[in-house]
Amino acid sequence: MLIVMTPEAQEEEILAVAARVQSLGYDAKILPGAQRTAVAVTGNQGSVPADRFASLRGVQKVVRVSAPYKLVSREVVPDETVIRFPNGVAIGGSHFQVMAGPCSVENRDQILEVAAEVKDAGATFLRGGAYKPRTSPYAFQGLKLEGLKLLAEAREATGLLVVTELKDTETLPSLVEYADVLQIGARNMQNYALLEAVGKQPRPVLLKRGMSATIKELLMAAEYIVNAGNPNVILCERGIRTFETMTRNTFDVGAIHMLRHLTHLPVIADPSHGIGIWHGVPALARAAVVAGAQGIIVEVHPKPADALSDGPQSLKPKRFRKLMDQIGRLRAAMAEPDA
C-alpha cells in the first residue's frame, strides 16, 4: 500500500504517517519524489486498513499497489531513477551509457589496451570479470584481487568507471573498494543473501536477469536490494534459456519494453550473452537501444580467439567502434521531434 502525501505536506506530517504505519506492525519506507512524497507500507501479509491513514494530516490519498513489487514499481515511484556518478556520468531517465570490455581481466596489457580502445570509441564504463563464476570447477576462475587492481589501474588511465561481478559476500569489501558498479550475475539473481548484502553497501548494483527468471522475479530481486537500503539498481536483460540451441540464449527484447513500462529503475541490455555469437551482437545491441534500453554492456576483446572465456561472443575493437557509430545514429533518429 502507498500513502501519497499532498505536495504541501510537512516533514513532521510525513513522519507522523510513518510512525502510525509502524505502530500497526508494518514497515514504512519514505519515498521522496519530485512532486510529492509518499510512504510505502510493506511487510504486510494480509490487507492493511487504509482508513487508519486516510484521515491523517497531509495525506492526499491511499493507493493499493497491486504488484508484489512495491519500491521498484512505477505505480509507487513515478519519477525515473537516475544514477549519477562522481565523474558526472549518469544512467537512467534520458541518460544512456555504454559499458564495454573483456569477459575476464586476463593480464595488464590486455585490460589497459581494451580500456583505451573502448574509451576512445565512446564507452563510459569498463567491464571485466575478476571473480568468475564458472560452470566447471576446473575452468579459469579469474585473477581475483589482482584483477580488481588492474581494473582500477585502467580506470586511472582512462577515466572509465568500472563494473565487475560480485560472486559472494566474502569478496564484497574488495569490490566496494575497487569497483564503481557491482554486478550480480544471472546465476545469483535469487541469491538472497547476496542481494541483501549489496543492498547495504554504497555502490550502485547491476542486476542481471536469471537465465530462467520471469520479468516479475527480476523485479522482486531488485525489490530485495532496494528494500535493504540501496535505491541504485540497474536491471539487465541478457537472454533467457529456451529450447533454441543455435544461439547461446534467447534475447528477450520484449522484456526491455516491459521493464521500462513497469519500473522506474534504469534498464540495460547485454547483447553478447544474449546471442553468444560475435556477428549477432550488433543486431541485438541496436534492437535493445530502439526498444528502450538505457544502456548496453558489450564484450570487447582485442584477440577474441585467444580469450580465456567468451571469445566467440566478443567483438574486436574495430567492430565495436562501428557499432557505437550505429547506436549514435539510431538514438539521434529516435530523438527527433515527433519521433
Q: Is 103 in the site for its own copies (CB under 8 A)?
A: no
- Out of 60, 107, 174, 250, name the contact with its own copies by CB under 8 A: 250
If binding is defined by CB under 8 A, does position 85 make contact with its own copies?
no
Name the residue among 314, 308, 316 with its Cα closest to residue 130.
Answer: 308
β-pairing verdict for 83-84 and 90-91: antiparallel
Is residue 217 involved in binding its own copies (CB under 8 A)?
yes
Binding flag, residue 86, its own copies (CB under 8 A):
no
Instruction: Out of 257, 316, 319, 321, name the contact with its own copies by CB under 8 A.
Output: 257
The tally of CA atoms less than 13 A away on the side-chain side of residue 202 is: 10
Contacts to its own copies from residues 271-290, by CB under 8 A: 274-275, 279-280, 283-284, 286-290
Interface with its own copies, residue 305, by CB under 8 A? no
Nearest to 142 by CA among 120, 180, 111: 111
**What sign results for the dihedral spanned by CA atoms 203, 205, 206, 208?**
positive
- For 4: left if phi > 0, alpha if psi spans -120 to 50, otherwise beta; the answer is beta
Is 79 near its own copies (CB under 8 A)? no
The span from the CA of 171 to the CA of 34, in Å, is 36
Q: Minimum distance from CB of 79 to its own copies (Å)?
A: 20
Residue in 117, 252, 270, 299 binding its own copies, rule: CB under 8 A: 252
Q: What is the 3-state secondary structure (H, E, C) of 303-329?
A: CHHHCCCCHHHCECHHHHHHHHHHHHH
CB closer to its own copies out of 57 and 241: 241
**String marking each residue 26-65 x if it binds its own copies according to CB under 8 A:** ----------------xxxx--------------------
Are residues 166 and 184 in contact, defined by beta-carbon separation less than 8 angstroms?
A: yes
Site for its own copies in 123-182 (CB under 8 A): 133-140, 167-170
